Structure 1
Amino acid sequence: MNRLTYTLVVNGSVYGGQSARNAYQFANALVARGHTLVSVFFYKEGVTNGSALTVPANDEFDLVKGWQRLAKEHGVRLETCVAAALRRGILSEEESSLHGLDGHNLAAGFEQAGLGSLAEAMLVQDRVVQF
């Protein structure tokens, strides 16, 4: 089997729709088949997947923790689009300081990146799949 490198682009919100969960399941299937998932780029409403403040019900899957576990176990970069994240109140400690705000809520294991990071992934990875 030919092993490929992938980047996923997630546009769907952490909860309220199925696309982010589908992306997570696809990501797990990729690594289970021996492919390399280099990064997941969260864009538009997808940046909510990087919030440290989501609290799902006890009987629901914690998608943020799922992404964190995937990243830790397989060395996957989790990138939230900084512009989209700022508009939606998802801030890293650095961005919070830069904008003179008191708090930050970007979940551990996530980083904020610009669209240049996505453009580079589109040039470098074998496949880019959008959800």
Structure 2
Amino acid sequence: MSLTYTLVVNGEVYGEQSSLNAYQFASALIEKGHRLVNVFFYQQGVTNGNGLTVPANDEFDLVSAWQQLAAEHGVLLQTCVAAALRRGVVGQQEAEQHQLPQSNLADGFEQSGLGSLAESLLSQDRVVQF
């Protein structure tokens, strides 16, 4: 039986394991035939959407991995807009709204509110938090 999933990622992109664990879990559930609808990045997890992240040559590029997963499987990558703004992850619309000189939200990510997460909690079969 195929299930629909939302993942909630609270861990920062580098420096701890939870974001990588979330990515590996996402890949595994898709491989098993389940549908990952969206990944909601919250708290420190919004750093996964920072388009200016440059990992060392010998490190796994997690931002690119999320982008590729989303592009190949139609997964929504949503960063909590309030948490993102507090941590300097800014989309184009927010940059214009707050009169900032640029945005740095990675391609394939969108900023969203907690209402989107609440909707996912009600509409997906499973929600898993990392």
User: What TM-score bracket applies, with the shorter chain setting the length?
Assistant: over 0.9
The whole-number CA distance in structure 2 between the counterparts of 1:47 and 1:94 is 16
Q: What SS is found at the alignment partner of 1:25? A: helix
Amino acid of the residue matched to residue 34 of structure 1?
Answer: G
Give CA deviations for 1:20-50 in whole Å, capped at 9, x if unaligned.
0000000000100000000000000000000
* Pairwise CA RMSD: 0.3
1:128 — aligned with what? 127
1:100 — aligned with what? 99
Q: Does 1:79 align with 2:78?
A: yes
The whole-number CA distance in structure 2 between the counterparts of 1:101 and 1:13 is 23
Q: What SS is found at the alignment partner of 2:89? A: coil
Could you list the structure 1 runs, at least 4 aligned residues long, displaced by more than 6 angstroms after superposition: none
Structure 2 stretches lacking a partner, 5+ long? none
Q: Deviation at 1:99?
A: 0.5
1:40 — aligned with what? 39
Structure 1 stretches lacking a partner, 5+ long? none
User: What TM-score does the superposition give when structure 2 sets the normalisation length?
Assistant: 1.00
2:117 — aligned with what? 118
Q: What SS is found at the alignment partner of 2:53? A: coil
The whole-number CA distance in structure 2 between the counterparts of 1:93 and 1:35 is 32
Tell me the percent identity. 70
Count of aligned residue pairs for this structure pair: 130
Give CA deviations for 1:107-130 in whole Å, capped at 9, x if unaligned.
000000000000000000000000
User: What TM-score does the superposition give when structure 1 sets the normalisation length?
Assistant: 0.99
The whole-number CA distance in structure 2 between the counterparts of 1:101 and 1:72 is 28
